[in-house]
Amino acid sequence: MKTTPMRPSMPAPRIADVAELAGVSMSTASKALNDTGQLREDTRARVKDAAAQLGFVVGASGRGGADTRTYTVGLLTTDSFGRFTIPLLMGVEDALAAGKMAIILCDTRDDVLREQHYLQSLQERRVDGLIITGRTTDPRPSIGLPIPTVYAFSPSEDPDDYAVVADEGAGATMAAEHLVAMGSRRIAHVTGPQRHHSADARALAVHETLGDALVAPTLFGHWSEEWGRAAVDMLLASHPDLDGLVCGSDQIARGATDRLREKGVDVPGQVRVTGFDNWEVMALASRPPLTTVDMGLTELGRLAGRTLLDLVEGKPDVPHQQVLTPRLEVRASSL
Amino acid sequence: MKTTPMRPSMPAPRIADVAELAGVSMSTASKALNDTGQLREDTRARVKDAAAQLGFVVGASGRGGADTRTYTVGLLTTDSFGRFTIPLLMGVEDALAAGKMAIILCDTRDDVLREQHYLQSLQERRVDGLIITGRTTDPRPSIGLPIPTVYAFSPSEDPDDYAVVADEGAGATMAAEHLVAMGSRRIAHVTGPQRHHSADARALAVHETLGDALVAPTLFGHWSEEWGRAAVDMLLASHPDLDGLVCGSDQIARGATDRLREKGVDVPGQVRVTGFDNWEVMALASRPPLTTVDMGLTELGRLAGRTLLDLVEGKPDVPHQQVLTPRLEVRASSL
């Protein structure tokens, strides 16, 4: 197949070239050119000099006026458009379609080379902005480009970047407090892999909330139904008087409710169970349907889209970190 | 928020204007301008005259040369990027990213007004082509635009359009033949709603394949686990000697295996079960894991992407209908 790149004759200088000439990191160069972040003024000036020398043009960022805009935004995900990205994407679309922005889709599949390829292509297309998301809440490296960028769900490691995230800890606290309010006093916590940010943040919150009501240390394992079943076997053997189970995901909770039923333990009569994610295909198909934490991913996507529009339009005082509080969806598994 | 449309000063004539002036449908106007379809020559000439009169420019279709291309493709889905669109999208991306095409995402959410809005916006952006998909295999109305277009998974009602679809009937036949080959002789078929194209096509194929081995007429219901469980209750009451169950989806099959196990019926020892979709979150979490039909949606997406590139580049003899044969993924539920 014969294809030609967008602007083949004259490759534009890249932020990497500017950073190299100024002797700074890409991230610093980006901040200097965007007038964001906390930098020494001489550093900022050195970067701007380097940019001028190379003829580097800062991407359509609102400061150039509306006529430089392409009304196009890149959405980059590591999640292969899985179940976290989809609801988020719908929210982004709600926010951006209202402003007649087109969304270009970039699925990096957790591949650094694919990500670089896409980012280069999006720069060549002079997108107005970028939304970066993924399948985990572990902070990811900053992309460090001089284009308005919002990290959604997966935050950036750089606190000067703009991020919209869910407060997972608050969600786990809600679930734990709900079980106590319903009368549970001998509760366990079963979750995903240790050192996975979501598992750790939720476990910490559950421990702080439950204290002595927790019958065992958090059981870390996998985000799977199978692990939910195995964990129930272990817990019932060691704590037959268990009366509450905070699960780190709906898949774990579904496996747990299945195994409790198979062992003749009534849910919620003998053990109340909560999930996490409000992934309806799991939460509603469970028997009984799951009480679960909904992180509000669509709302999170809307907020990310609106924040990006604010950045593109050059609005002042856009907050760098925005945290959305989840809500508890109460169903039969805990009542 | 202040936004300006892409080209506000001079709205281009639309295909609808051409169609109206020529006194033909949008679909006919599109075919005439694209030199596709079977039309009388005087109709074609009348449409072209109308287009010339209005100054209507046929979208970037390859015939104008590479310099008119935007290297941008619109992907329009009714599925809100659900589980059918996602694997398909990955295939489209595989095919198009190799050609450095950007994909603009349009989620119509089954709303005709949203669809029209998106199609208008994509035309204004002069996309090189369109891929249209959805959540069902029911044929949908042709969009009738003079832009290279491929319908993927959800075909167009117009046989002159380009479509890439899965042979659902062949998939259902594979599942039924597999059960017979494994030794099942008293088989039932449980599927989704009647008059849903997928349910009907699969049911027809199962009936033709199984003949007398089918113990009952197809049980039509819902694409849900709950329906799978309810159908097993009905079938075991009327046909306790059942030894095979062809399910129209993995969700139905999962519900069925759950209920069979709860009733003390061994799967696959007493009843062999097959699903449909190879939706791994269902098929692998079932106990036992499901033998299921995989429609090859990613491959279908790749084929749609390559077909669109062929159309954009003006290649001759691009086939109008391409049908992909599914494969059977054999797991423990039928062995």
Are B243 and B232 in contact by the 8 Å Cβ rule? The answer is: no
In this prediction, residue B6 has a pLDDT band, given cuts at 50, 70 and 90, of very low
The token pair at B297 is: 């949606």
pLDDT (0 to 100) of residue A256: 98
Is the Cβ pair A226, B121 closer than 8 Å? no
Is the Cβ pair B104, A100 closer than 8 Å? no
The token pair at A85 is: 């990205």
> What is the pLDDT of chain B when averaged over all its residues?
89
Domains, chain A, with CATH or none: 168-295+329-334 (3.40.50.2300)
Element (H, E) at B104: strand B102-107
Residues of B within 8 A of A82 (CB-CB) are 86
pLDDT (0 to 100) of residue B56: 75
pLDDT (0 to 100) of residue B66: 40
Could you tell me which of A206, A197, A198, A261 has the C-alpha nearest to residue A228?
A: A261
In this prediction, residue B81 has a pLDDT band, given cuts at 50, 70 and 90, of low
> What is the pLDDT of chain A when averaged over all its residues?
89
Is the Cβ pair A80, B98 closer than 8 Å? no
Q: How far is B304 from chain A (nearest CA, A)?
A: 15
- Which one of B6, B81, B285 has the shortest CB-CB distance to A86? B81
Residues of B within 8 A of A122 (CB-CB) are 102
- B251 beta partners: none
In this prediction, residue B13 has a pLDDT band, given cuts at 50, 70 and 90, of low
In this prediction, residue B86 has a pLDDT band, given cuts at 50, 70 and 90, of confident
The rounded percent of chain A whose pLDDT value lies above 70 is: 92
Is the Cβ pair B93, A80 closer than 8 Å? no
Which stretch of A320-329, B34-43, B230-239 has the lowest confidence by average pLDDT? B34-43
Could you tell me which of B292, B289, B293, B237 has the C-alpha nearest to residue B268?
A: B289
Residues of B within 8 A of A126 (CB-CB) are none
Q: Which residue has the tokens 């333990």?
A: A265
Is the confidence at residue A282, as pLDDT, over 60? yes
Mean pLDDT of all residues in B307-330: 96
Are A314 and A63 in contact by the 8 Å Cβ rule? The answer is: yes
pLDDT tens-digit readout, B98-146: 768 999 989 888 888 899 999 999 999 999 999 999 988 999 999 999 9
Element (H, E) at B30: helix B26-34
* B284, B285, B287, B290: CA torsion to nearest 10: -30
Is the Cβ pair A4, B93 closer than 8 Å? no
Mean pLDDT of all residues in A27-43: 81
Residues of A within 8 A of B90 (CB-CB) are 80-81, 107
The token pair at B335 is: 């062995």
Residues of B within 8 A of A3 (CB-CB) are 71, 99-100
Is the Cβ pair A93, B71 closer than 8 Å? no
The token pair at B256 is: 């069925």
* B242, B248, B254, B259: CA torsion to nearest 10: -30
Helices (H), B144-267: 168-182, 197-210, 225-238, 250-262
Mean pLDDT of all residues in B194-211: 95
pLDDT (0 to 100) of residue A4: 35
Mean pLDDT of all residues in A88-100: 86
pLDDT tens-digit readout, B207-221: 999 999 999 999 999
pLDDT tens-digit readout, B49-66: 888 877 776 643 333 334
Could you tell me which of B195, B149, B206 has the C-alpha nearest to residue B33?
A: B149
Q: How far is A134 from chain B (nearest CA, A)?
A: 15
Q: How far is A139 from chain B (nearest CA, A)?
A: 25
Q: Which residue has the tokens 């998909």?
A: B133
In whole angstroms, give the CA distance from residue B248 to residue B219: 10
Are A242 and A188 in contact by the 8 Å Cβ rule? The answer is: yes
Is the Cβ pair A86, B104 closer than 8 Å? no
In this prediction, residue B36 has a pLDDT band, given cuts at 50, 70 and 90, of confident
Q: Is the dihedral of CA B86, B103, B196, B298 positive or negative?
A: negative
**What is the DSSP code (8-state) at residue B313?**
T
Mean pLDDT of all residues in A143-159: 95
In whole angstroms, give the CA distance from residue B174 to residue B43: 45
pLDDT (0 to 100) of residue A273: 98
pLDDT tens-digit readout, A52-69: 877 776 643 333 334 578
SS3 A223: coil
Is the Cβ pair A4, B66 closer than 8 Å? yes
Q: How far is A126 from chain B (nearest CA, A)?
A: 12
Angle of CA points A98, A99, A104, to nearest 5°: 100
Q: Chain A interface residues facing chain B, Cβ-Cβ under 8 Å?
A: 1-6, 66, 71-72, 75, 80-82, 86, 89-90, 93, 97-100, 102-105, 107, 117, 121-122, 125, 224-226, 251, 281, 285, 309, 313
- Which one of A103, A224, A226 has the shortest CB-CB distance to B105? A103
